[in-house]
A and B are shown apart, each in its own frame.
Chain A
Amino acid sequence: MNKELLIETKQLQKKYVTDTVETTALAGVDLSITKGEFVAIMGPSGCGKSTLLNILGLLDSPSGGVFKFLGEDITNASERQRAKIRKQNLGFVFQSFNLIDELTVEENIGLPLAYLGVSKAETEKRVMEAMERMGIAHRRNHFPQQLSGGQQQRAAIARATVSNPSLILADEPTGNLDSVHGREVMALLTELNEAGTTVVMVTHSPSDAEYAHRIVNLFDGQIVTENLNVRKHVAELL
């Protein structure tokens, strides 16, 4: 397996300052993720999982520590640089609110390509492929409100993967779904990971975490344990 480091953080900190209180969401996180890994982040509510994921996904900036992406220190990168890295390397899946209501499924999925400046024909082709992979091609002209939660989430994954990102970040992707649809989504993420995409996923569900190579347990903004998912490794070895 490719051992090249994709993400490396050192003493990553995040503090939220409001009028009255200062909340420490991350209190020194050291985390390294290599290319091709499937990492699950777990922990009790409010421990800082989403905060960490957002920083890893360059949606938010840390208040302290070092953050390297593909070996490059981008702790203090500008908003524009972050946007550029996001559109070239990252794909996101959230628990809900994944799609733009005013765009059809097809248009939603094509959005990252539009911002990348991909040609119309190429976009059409890649969007079609992504939709077919996720099994929602027959819904291409529907608006998000006309889809079920599972279909919406699959569309979201299609959008997250259409630009062939090297890293997919997913924040509780199955949180709003029933177990059948949840398993479907996890299968899709696994498939992507097997095709070479790095996946970092926040989850509350131990069964979802089972799909990952490695499980990072967060508590009060710090990593308490990091476990290799032995079963998965064994399965892969076999």
Chain B
Amino acid sequence: MWQNYFKVALRNIYRNKVYAAINIAGLALGVASCLLIFLYVQDELSYESHFSKADRIVRVAGEIEHEGQVNKFALSPPVLAPILLKDYPELERVTQLANARKQTIWYKNKSYNEENLLFADSSFFHVFDYEFLAGDPATALDEPRTIVVSEQLADKYFGGAEQAIGQVLKFSRDSYMVTGVFRDQGHSHIQANAFLSRSTLDTKRQDVITDDNHWFHMNRYTYVLLRDKSQIAPFQEKLKTFAATHVTPWIKENELAANMTFMLQPLPSIHFNTVYTDDLSPAGNINYIYIFAAVAVFLLLIASINYMNLATARSAKRAKEVGLRKVVGAYRSQIIGQFIGESLLITLLAVVLALALVQILIPTFNALTGKHFDANFFLQPEIALALFAIILFIGAIAGSYPAIFLSGFKPVDVLKSDKSPKGGSAALRRTLVVIQFMISLIMIIGTIVVFSQMQFLKNRDLGFNKERILTIDIPVGDSMLVKQLPTIKQELLSNPNIESVSNSADIPAESNSTILIFAEKNGATLQNAMDVMFVDYDFVDVMGIQVKEGRNYSRNYKTDLKGGLIINEAAAKKMGWKDPIGKRIQMADWDAKVIGVVKDFHVKSLHTKVAPLILALVPESSGYLLVRLKPQNMPATIGFIQEKWQAFDTKHPMEYFFMDEHFDKQYRAEEKMLTVFGYFAGLTIFIACLGLFGLASFTAEQRTKEIGIRKVLGSSTGSIVLLLSRDFALLVLIAIVLAIPVAWYGMDKWLQDFAYRTNLSWWIFALAGFAAMSIALLTVSFQAIRAALQDPVKAIRTQ
């Protein structure tokens, strides 16, 4: 019997090539996108899963409340770890990481700048069970000046894991002996190329920590391994009183006006952390996971709707077969089985095609998402299972409606020569088309809104001129180089194509320090935590920041050093100063008067409002060298800079970037999202139009006779095209009306994520509606024109 069904199904596909192609192509595109999205989602959700104790590990994040404002840090102070371990027996281990960021490493006569370097406690590998290719994880970080490197690093420097052990890597000040090589097995928020032993820090503590007992020294990431995962919630509860016992007395003692609390982040959730700042790696956005999952379901739904609509619309063609099968004694259940089997077959063909498509698309998708999916992904059992689920899902969803509908035909009705049954419920079909176009429209509107927001962000006046600032990343800890900075600047300025040069510790789009300041107001003293950027005399000029009141730092005023400070408008506002110039601010070893107020400029991405900021003068700041270029002959100028710089810095390869690109990098996640989403939006409308094309050709076919008669009676081609297109246009119009409020609501919510955002102006909706309508009409009118142009006599005869 199945053989019989199978033959009929194949012959039906063969005889109705256009419809079959629409169905299979639509489903294949839907399934292919679904697979890609599945890979992406699975990948995003796989963070930390390779650590066997992942479910028992939590991170302790510190929140500091100050003047009603809460700062949430992924960080916590070093002092926290020993106390936690002492106070809570349910903790098996407490381990801390400190970020060593980027350093230059020398080995023999090679040197490289290495990123993602972390200081780790000796207990680190007891908590996070990295796979070791060489060395003993239990003891690798016990001694000061030891280092555990990644497989890649070991290969790069020593040509293999075994060879690495016992070798010495030289950093700017210390040398570290390699005691272990680990393998990077999976995704983690801890992206490390090497772990350096934290005990090294104890031997030179003055450099890194000034006061070991300072609770507000937020420079560690504290991870706790609980004995049992059920203890996580009770532990969080207990932590509520922790600060009261340990931190509050210290705060009182030091007369600070702030409060501290500690929160737990379960390890698997850290990748999606968007609340706590200064995390080890950029967070994934869980909302994007939801959105993509929804997109996947939508795509499948739209393709399934095509199947349902075309199958029922064309049911008249199958009615006779159903009638005859029943006449010879088929049960209804057998006929349902046959049609579901048929849709499963179509789905199976679509899935095979989808797999081929994915093979082709994977490199592009990897480039878009920055992931590294393997083309053989479908050999994974999860994917195979997902594929199976997809086939069943579509087979059941898309197949069941036509199956139930078709199997309901009564032989006495369908076998009458003069009557053929109607092609299913036209109302249902219309509703489904409206749903398809609604979804497509929402996605198109979403794409346009995201795009215009991105443009808005890039084109917005940042308060400084981000163009043509070549920024050199000055290697850390090279005091000789720092001493020569004034000379380097002087030599660079000899080139007429270099406008100005500045050296600073901080630049926009990089995290800067937050420092406790004491400021005067009406004779009283205000305590405030404030963002500070350490800059030289030339920073304001090079950056093109506008001075609103007072003046910029000047070498002519000796008092500017530690005696003068520049603040931004937001800071003046926060202090409530009407006339900020001359107001007194104390911070660290500054006892200064405000000498200038600059116009607010964006240090962080436009997700956040401009924060109060102090530009503090440290002429020897040595984080970055900012070189403002003239637009003329830039490649030559860059070559000149490179040559000059390397003449002074012979040890490190020069690293530089342009400020505008660096700043816009902050929107990379959104941009990637935009591109991927844009493609999927295009796909939805394409698949929806495939269905529309099928329905239009069906309608044209059904109305061939009517069209013929109308033409004989003198109707113009135009009026017939209009007649055939009108119904579909109405459906798209309804979809537009329904989609706009939904899209408006959704995109408004998305925009709330940005402190500065574009307007949801009417043209966005008009454009999307117009686009959808045009595409739909184009699709439909193709069929309509074909129908309208055929020979009327022939049309009337052939019915």
Contacts and interface: CB of A to CB of B under 8 A. Distances in A.
A100 B320 contact: yes
Contact of A115 (B323, B334, B410): B334
Contacts of B11: 102-103
Q: From DSSP, what is the main secondary structure of chain B's interface residues?
A: helix
A67 interface: no
A230 to B, nearest CB: 34
B412 interface: yes
Nearest to A53: B412
B330 A107 contact: no
Contact of B411 (A59, A103, A112): A59
Contacts of A84: 329, 331
B411 A114 contact: no
Nearest to B4: A114
A229 interface: no
B1 A59 contact: no
Contacts of A97: 320, 323-324, 415, 417
A164 interface: no
A30 B335 CA distance: 34
A60 B414 CA distance: 12
Interface in B11-28: 11-12, 15
Contacts of B4: 103, 107, 110-111, 114
A88 interface: yes
B321 interface: yes
Contact of B417 (A95, A103, A116): A95
A204 to B, nearest CB: 14
Given A54-B412, A94-B415, A114-B4, A102 B321 contact: yes
B328 interface: yes
Nearest to B332: A79
A187 interface: no
Contacts of A112: 328-329
A38 interface: no
A88 B323 CA distance: 17
Interface string A61-89: 00000000000000000011001101110
Contacts of B15: 102
Interface residues of B, number: 25
Contacts of A102: 7-8, 11-12, 15, 321
Contacts of B417: 95-97
Contacts of A83: 326, 329-332
A116 B329 contact: yes
Contacts of B411: 59
B325 to A, nearest CB: 7
A146 B634 CA distance: 78
B100 interface: no
Contact of A88 (B8, B329, B330): B329
A219 interface: no
A60 B412 contact: yes
B368 interface: no
Interface in B285-342: 320-321, 323-332, 334
B5 to A, nearest CB: 10
A80 B336 CA distance: 14
Interface residues of A, number: 31
B3 to A, nearest CB: 9
Nearest to B328: A112
B12 A111 contact: no
A59 B1 CA distance: 22
Given A59-B412, A115-B334, A87 B8 contact: no
A110 B329 CA distance: 12
Interface string A101-129: 11100010011101110000000000000
Contacts of A95: 417
Given A54-B412, A103-B7, A107-B7, A98 B329 contact: no
Contacts of B332: 79-80, 83
A159 B328 contact: yes
A92 interface: yes
A56 interface: no
A110 B7 CA distance: 14
Contacts of B323: 97
Q: Which of A101, A116, A159 is packed against the most chain B CB atoms within 10 Å?
A: A101
Nearest to B330: A115
A99 interface: yes
B324 A98 contact: yes
B19 to A, nearest CB: 14
Contact of B329 (A94, A96, A103, A115): A115
Interface in B390-448: 410-412, 415, 417
Nearest to A89: B329
B641 to A, nearest CB: 75
A103 B8 contact: yes
Residue of B15, B321, B324 with highest tally of chain A CB at under 10 A: B324
B1 A115 contact: yes
A96 to B, nearest CB: 6
A100 B412 contact: no
B327 A92 contact: yes
A39 B334 CA distance: 33
Contacts of A103: 4, 7-8, 11
Contacts of A57: 327
B327 A86 contact: yes
A98 B417 CA distance: 11
For A54, A90, A102, A159, the residue with the greatest tally of chain B CB atoms inside 10 Å of its CB is A102
A100 B332 CA distance: 17
Contacts of B415: 94, 97
A80 B330 CA distance: 9
Contacts of A115: 1, 325, 328-330, 334
A88 B4 CA distance: 20
Contacts of B329: 83-84, 86-88, 90, 112, 115-116
A112 B557 CA distance: 107
A220 B536 CA distance: 110
Q: Identify which of B15, B328, B417 gathers the most chain A CB atoms within 10 Å of its CB.
A: B328
A99 B328 contact: no
Interface centre among B321, B323, B412 (most CB of A within 10 A): B412
Contact of A99 (B324, B330, B334): B324
Nearest to B411: A59
A96 B416 CA distance: 9
Nearest to B327: A92
Contact of B327 (A59, A96, A101): A59
A179 B417 CA distance: 21
A94 B411 CA distance: 12
Nearest to A95: B417
Nearest to A117: B1
A18 to B, nearest CB: 13
A98 B415 CA distance: 8
A100 B1 contact: no
Interface of A: 54, 57, 59-60, 79-80, 83-84, 86-88, 90, 92, 94-103, 107, 110-112, 114-116, 159
28 contacts: A59-B326, A59-B327, A59-B410, A59-B411, A59-B412, A60-B410, A79-B332, A80-B331, A83-B332, A84-B331, A88-B329, A94-B415, A97-B320, A100-B321, A100-B325, A102-B7, A102-B11, A102-B12, A102-B321, A103-B4, A103-B11, A107-B4, A110-B4, A111-B328, A112-B329, A114-B4, A115-B330, A116-B329
Interface of B: 1, 4, 7-8, 11-12, 15, 320-321, 323-332, 334, 410-412, 415, 417
Given A101-B321, A103-B7, A159-B328, 17 more contacts: A59-B326, A59-B410, A59-B411, A59-B412, A86-B326, A90-B329, A92-B328, A97-B320, A97-B417, A100-B324, A102-B11, A102-B321, A103-B4, A103-B8, A111-B4, A115-B328, A116-B329
Q: Which 6 interchain pairs have the tightest Cβ spacing?
A: A87-B329, A112-B328, A102-B11, A86-B329, A102-B8, A60-B412
